Amino acid sequence: MNGKDLLPYALACHPNYKTKCALPNQDNKGTLKEANAQKEYQCHNKESILKEEQNKSHSWSNKSSHDVSICVLCVINNNIKGFLPSNLLSNKSWVDKIFSIFDPNKNLCHQSINNEMKSKTDSLTQKLQGQLVVHIQNHIRDPTEHKHWWLKWAIKNLSHVVACMILFGLTIKDTGRLDEMACLLSMNQNNFLLCSNIEATHLGCYLYWDTNNCAWICSGKVTGRGFGVRHNKYALRAKASGKTSTLHTTYPSERGDFARSTNAE
């Protein structure tokens, strides 16, 4: 890719452009975030070499004497399913980075990497990719959306997700006989962080555990506020007397109107 190819992405990141329609020579549909994400997706899985060519002018506005043109040479990876997770697990620097990002305080159990684990990640990734394709066909009604760029991105990145899950022991032991309706998550709560104390201020994905039936009952994500704030909101809804979701009527607060409901578990 050369400077001309990278210009739309660079402009989309520029603070002077607040909306996508303000970008020069751009499709006016969508948002800046979508334009940004699409350009990132197009560059995903490409091995890039950055090369600066000094003293060459370019067409960007507000040029200064320090401006340089940038030429990025990319080797395109056309594998629609991305990298095998076994290759990721064989990369020590990638594994160390995952541990430092997701478990900097070493609170989680780190699994030992061996050939059996690598084989497990590859087979599980292939299975989940196949299930995702079936899910897209059966649950997304508009066939024109079946090849949307973000669905391709999800399929491509399943290998990264699976590798991370197995590294931290978050999946059941035997995933080979897993059917599409079974729960993939481990029942060992010690493999997951409890969202209390400092962890309650963090953002990301969360799970709820049914202590009576010993099962995962809810999952979600939170951004812009901590897990504790989201939990308090759930607690208020579980006490509500008006119309609420199935989750809150099935798992109501002991002090709420639905505490003695026949649906309560």
Dihedral sign from CA coordinates of 197, 198, 201, 205: negative
Encode pLDDT of 103-161 as tens digits: 888 888 888 999 999 999 999 998 888 888 888 888 888 888 888 888 888 888 899 99
Residue-level pLDDT at 64: 47
The pLDDT of residue 77: 46
CA 153 to chain centre: 10
**pLDDT tens digits, 31-59:** 555 655 555 555 544 444 444 444 444 44
Whether the pLDDT of residue 99 is over 90: the answer is yes
Determine whether 104 is exposed, middle or buried from the number of CB atoms within 10 Å of its CB (0-12, 13-18, 19+).
Answer: exposed
Q: What percentage of the chain reaches a pLDDT higher than 90?
A: 19
Q: Where are the domains of the chain?
A: 3-75, 85-192, 198-250
Nearest to 163 by CA among 97, 80, 77: 97
